[in-house]
Structure 1
Amino acid sequence: MDWKPDRSDKKPIYKQIAHYIEHGIATGIFSPDSTLPSERALASELGVNRSTIISAYEYLHSLGIVERKKGSGTRISTNIWGISHKRIPNWGRYVEDGSFLPNLPLVQKIRTETQKDNFINLASGELAPQLFPTIQFREILTRQPFMENLGYDHPQGNELLRETISQHVKQYKNIDTNSSSILITSGAQQALHLIVQCLLKPGDAVAIEDPSYCFSLPIFQSAGLRTFLLPVDKDGVNPNDLISLHKKHRIRMIFLNPDYQNPTGTVLSTPRRKKILELSSELGIPIVEDDPYTLTTFGGEVNQTLKSMDSNGNVLYISSLSKIVASGLRIGWIIGPQSVIQRLADAKQQVDFGHSVFPQWVANQFLSSSYFSEHILTIRKNLKLQRDELANSLHELLSDEMEFYMPNGGIHMWCKINKPIHEGRLLEESLKKGIAFVPGTIFGSQKGYVRFTFGREKVESIREGILRFADALKSVTNT
């Protein structure tokens, strides 16, 4: 065998070997009716440890390329050959090699497990079904039959909805804008994706909060961005940290969730908001403000958004109806300079030819009616009850084991476990007991934290959920 692994290559040696063997199978170097070299023989020939060959063979086995049987060696899998020895595509390879990265395995596991019956879900970031305005939507559909054109709509989204949103953000958040500066998106997630894909390039440095929802999103890694962390304290991120990061890495964009931040529930203080806007103007760094929770404020006072304070057009503002109306409606929006909005709208057209007509119509009817203001008061009242139930349950059942920050809005509570713990084992044990939460390291660099979402479950289920979690925590700490 003339080929040798390249030790200067960043790719692990076992993967180099596996890819060489796969190529050899495809080109006929390795015959489909023969056994591959033994682990010891191949290790000796390539000058590597036997464990490296074992890893390579196991990797090929996981992709369905080889079969491994104790005492019989490693053979090319018969499943990759169809009738008349025609190759079947190696779907395992395609799945692995795609440029868009999958969700973290823990995130995938939580989503799968929470679909089971009798599961208490303190992980999913959404409202409880009973808080959705289902009755109001039915009344809208009864009183005002849908008579709209079902063809493709404007690239930026329905004109009437964009006009309504411009009035909505002025009334509730003091943001001055117009319909031409708004793009309708499929929730805030698509908005973030469009911004990352269209306005940044591989290798660009961006600043995100630590901890933050953005930390868990694969879209940053898929786009080849370098992410740098801004620690979050009780007053949000510190502007001085942004200065330090920019000096070292030339930050190209800042992603912030200033109000009832996910996962900490903290609020970026007004002095820090002003300083960050000053730095944005001084350094020419755009800010992406993700604002899903401002209107959930339990006290009724809505904080000034960065966008409402932005006199220079430095802020791209993202919001949606997912966290305050219904997650399944899939209505979000971006507000920004018209040139940026047009660029993002063009990209959205390439992806889905524009947003679906029907949910835009429903959203417009709801936002422009008296139902919306009544609904906001309802969810504030109910979310506060759910937060209080979670806080009381933690006080009563886990006061010695955990500390937590008491948010004044939003749907999340950030909790610190007072003793070292293995997060994976704690999650596994909790899922067995029918309770889901999100481990803190999914959101950032801090260990020993968990995020409970109080917005998803009924009040009567929250205490039972914490009872199950307490039982799981006890099981893990006693082993």
Structure 2
Amino acid sequence: MNWMPDRNTKKAIYKQLAEYIEVGIADGTFPHDEPLPSERFLAKVYNINRSTVVSAYDELESNGLIQRKRGSGTTINKDIWGITKKRIPSWNRYIEAGSILPNLAVTQKIRKEVTDHKLINLASGELSDDLFPQTSLRSMASNRSFIGSLGYDHPQGNVILRKTIAKHLSQERKMEGADPSSILITSGAQQALHLVIQCLLKPGDAVAIENPSYSYSLPIFKSAGIRTYYLSMDKEGINPDDLVSLYKKHKIRMIFLNPAFQNPTGTFLSPSRRKAVLDISSKYGIPIVEDDPYSLTSFRGNEVSTLKSMDTHGNVLYISSLSKIVASGLRIGWIIGPKAVIERLTDVKQQIDFGHSSFTQWIANDFLESKDFPAHIKRLNLQLKKRRDQIAKSLEFFLGNQVHFHAPEGGIHIWCKLNKEFNEMKLLEESIKRGVIFVPGTTMGSEKGYVRFTFARENEENIHEGIKRFAEALLLVQE
């Protein structure tokens, strides 16, 4: 037994041992007619805890390679070498070998908790059911005469919907000259971001993202081998000078920005900085990916310009969707860019899913064209503002000088700095025990001491109760 565990690698020792034994079973190091070494023996030989050996044997047993019987020890499963020669794949090894990395463990935990338990949900970035235009959408779904083809639609998305989106962008987001041929319909903004990263960047490329930001939490950058560099934020958004410094030092290939009511900070990139960012993009030839889920959610009722509407050189790839303003379940998003880029992204999307569902495209088109859409946006902003006001009042009432925050003028998130040190995971666990959940700040940024609350998912009463429970949990973990 010349093998020894490598204590310098990130792979767990029990997994290393399990793989060593599996290879040994295949090459005859461990004869199939003899018992495998005992747990105590292996622990002593390799100077590891017995529990580590137990975990290795548990994994081998779950994969059908070994059998454990009390009084008989651990033996190789005879069926491996018998008549049937059947084996269970080592699924854990396949899972770990995938090219797309899993979400952060805390992100997976939040998703599981909100799915499996009834909690006051201040974590999920979506609207509550009562903010969806359910009556309008259901009426359109039931009364609509489906006159389109039920086969595969145009690879870029239904042409009628793309024309409607182009009209919508011109009227609602002041984006003149949007051409349906330069629009790709995607499964929400998330798929659009994935397509951009997978199709337009290569391993080793450097990109700039906001810190904190939603993009910070996405494992897709690391999965694709992309190097991410961070742009710090203040109350007016990123500092364009930082962008120049990053470009000169790391040769930034692309900039990812959420300029309007940014997730998670709620900040709005000021007009002067928007112009500076576009000037830098033009000077150095760096494309900008503008992620714009919230520009129509201005609580002041004023029109909000997009970077794309100011882009005179075609440097901005514009991404948006109906997920945050109409219904996340429609899965209707879009990306606008140069035709050659859209054709490239379309080709890859077709490889993935052969295009988007015709039914949801028809419903989205009818709703965008109807008088119900502007009425819905007006009502949505009124309700979101009430909830924003409520969470601000509740934070001040229950936490006072323990928290610092800036109340956003749009969007659905509020970013809070807690003024005392705390254990992030303990705070999350204690909050869940009390029936409320939020997003720990380090999942969205490099600095500790922050939390993100989403106020679109709950009504005012639940928001108040949720912050009360959060304050109780915070008091406990600080003691």
TM-score by length of 2: 0.92
Please list, as runs of the form range in 1=range in 2, the aligned pairs for 1:367-382 lying within 5 A after superposition. Answer: 367-382=368-383
The answer for the alignment partner of 1:50 in structure 2 is 47
Unaligned runs of 5+ in 1: none
Aligned mates of 1:38, 1:223 — CA distance in 2: 40
Contact 1:335 1:341 in 2 (8 A): yes
Aligned mates of 1:393, 1:156 — CA distance in 2: 45
Contact 2:295 2:305 in 1 (8 A): no
The answer for the alignment partner of 2:111 in structure 1 is 111
The answer for the alignment partner of 2:297 in structure 1 is 296
- What's the CA shift for 1:357? 0.2
- What's the CA shift for 1:28? 3.4
The answer for the alignment partner of 2:23 in structure 1 is 23
Residue 462 of structure 2 corresponds to residue 465 of structure 1: no
1:210–1:72: structure 2 CA closer, same or farther, 3 Å change rule?
Answer: farther
Aligned mates of 1:467, 1:240 — CA distance in 2: 41
The answer for the alignment partner of 1:141 in structure 2 is 141
SS in structure 1 opposite 2:115?
Answer: coil
> Residue type matched to 2:283 in 1?
E
Unaligned runs of 5+ in 2: none
1:231–1:74: structure 2 CA closer, same or farther, 3 Å change rule?
Answer: farther
- What's the CA shift for 1:36? 3.3
Residue 262 of structure 2 corresponds to residue 265 of structure 1: no
Aligned mates of 2:73, 2:103 — CA distance in 1: 32
Cα deviation digits, residues 253-277 of structure 1 (max 9, x gap): 1110001100000111111111111
- What's the CA shift for 1:241? 1.1
> Residue type matched to 1:140 in 2?
M
- What's the CA shift for 1:293? 0.3
- What's the CA shift for 1:71? 11
Aligned mates of 1:375, 1:455 — CA distance in 2: 15
Aligned mates of 1:339, 1:329 — CA distance in 2: 27
- What's the CA shift for 1:137? 1.3
The answer for the alignment partner of 1:232 in structure 2 is 233
Percent identity at matched positions?
56
> Residue type matched to 1:329 in 2?
L
Residue 167 of structure 2 corresponds to residue 170 of structure 1: no
Aligned mates of 1:119, 1:317 — CA distance in 2: 35
Contact 1:320 1:332 in 2 (8 A): yes
> Residue type matched to 1:145 in 2?
S
- What's the CA shift for 1:477? 1.4
Please list, as runs of the form range in 1=range in 2, the aligned pairs for 1:378-397 lying within 5 A after superposition. Answer: 378-397=379-398
Aligned mates of 2:47, 2:69 — CA distance in 1: 16
Aligned mates of 2:18, 2:284 — CA distance in 1: 47
- What's the CA shift for 1:13? 8.5
- What's the CA shift for 1:242? 1.2
The answer for the alignment partner of 2:366 in structure 1 is 365
- What's the CA shift for 1:333? 0.1
Cα deviation digits, residues 313-356 of structure 1 (max 9, x gap): 11100000000000000000000000000000000000000000
The answer for the alignment partner of 1:438 in structure 2 is 439
- What's the CA shift for 1:127? 0.6
SS in structure 2 opposite 1:294?
Answer: coil
1:16–1:333: structure 2 CA closer, same or farther, 3 Å change rule?
Answer: same
> Residue type matched to 1:96 in 2?
E
Name whichever of 104-113 and 63-72 sits farther off.
63-72
The answer for the alignment partner of 1:407 in structure 2 is 408
Please list, as runs of the form range in 1=range in 2, the aligned pairs for 1:149-164 lying within 5 A after superposition. Answer: 149-164=149-164
SS in structure 2 opposite 1:359?
Answer: helix
The answer for the alignment partner of 1:193 in structure 2 is 194
1:454–1:56: structure 2 CA closer, same or farther, 3 Å change rule?
Answer: same
Cα deviation digits, residues 63-93 of structure 1 (max 9, x gap): 7458899999994675996984521111111
The answer for the alignment partner of 1:35 in structure 2 is 36
Aligned mates of 1:291, 1:362 — CA distance in 2: 21
Aligned mates of 1:317, 1:297 — CA distance in 2: 19
Contact 1:166 1:179 in 2 (8 A): yes
Aligned mates of 1:323, 1:359 — CA distance in 2: 16
SS in structure 2 opposite 1:288?
Answer: strand
Aligned mates of 1:73, 1:166 — CA distance in 2: 72
Cα deviation digits, residues 209-266 of structure 1 (max 9, x gap): 1000011111111111111111111111111111121122111111100011000001
Contact 1:80 1:88 in 2 (8 A): no
Name whichever of 335-344 and 301-310 sits farther off.
301-310
Contact 1:414 1:449 in 2 (8 A): yes
- What's the CA shift for 1:449? 0.5
SS in structure 1 opposite 2:401?
Answer: coil
The answer for the alignment partner of 2:333 in structure 1 is 332
Name whichever of 324-333 and 400-409 sits farther off.
400-409
Name whichever of 67-76 and 460-469 sits farther off.
67-76
The answer for the alignment partner of 1:476 in structure 2 is 477
> Residue type matched to 1:113 in 2?
E
The answer for the alignment partner of 1:275 in structure 2 is 276
Contact 1:420 1:448 in 2 (8 A): yes
Aligned mates of 1:278, 1:459 — CA distance in 2: 42
- What's the CA shift for 1:400? 2.7
- What's the CA shift for 1:59? 5.4
1:141–1:173: structure 2 CA closer, same or farther, 3 Å change rule?
Answer: same
Contact 2:39 2:53 in 1 (8 A): no
The answer for the alignment partner of 1:89 in structure 2 is 89
The answer for the alignment partner of 2:130 in structure 1 is 130
Cα deviation digits, residues 174-231 of structure 1 (max 9, x gap): 1121100000000000000101111111111111110000111111111111111111
The answer for the alignment partner of 1:320 in structure 2 is 321
Contact 2:292 2:319 in 1 (8 A): yes
Number of positions where the alignment pairs a residue of Structure 1 with one of Structure 2: 473
Name whichever of 466-475 and 345-354 sits farther off.
466-475
Contact 2:258 2:292 in 1 (8 A): yes
Contact 1:150 1:357 in 2 (8 A): yes
Aligned mates of 1:129, 1:286 — CA distance in 2: 37
Name whichever of 108-117 and 159-168 sits farther off.
108-117
- What's the CA shift for 1:467? 1.2
> Residue type matched to 1:354 in 2?
G
Contact 2:67 2:77 in 1 (8 A): no
SS in structure 2 opposite 1:30?
Answer: coil
Contact 1:38 1:73 in 2 (8 A): no
1:77–1:256: structure 2 CA closer, same or farther, 3 Å change rule?
Answer: farther
TM-score by length of 1: 0.92
Aligned mates of 2:29, 2:162 — CA distance in 1: 61
1:399–1:88: structure 2 CA closer, same or farther, 3 Å change rule?
Answer: same
Aligned mates of 2:455, 2:228 — CA distance in 1: 29
- What's the CA shift for 1:97? 1.5
> Residue type matched to 2:391 in 1?
L
The answer for the alignment partner of 1:350 in structure 2 is 351
Cα deviation digits, residues 42-75 of structure 1 (max 9, x gap): 775xxxx623897576456457458899999994
Contact 1:313 1:336 in 2 (8 A): yes
Contact 2:35 2:73 in 1 (8 A): no
Name whichever of 31-40 and 410-419 sits farther off.
31-40
Contact 1:18 1:57 in 2 (8 A): no
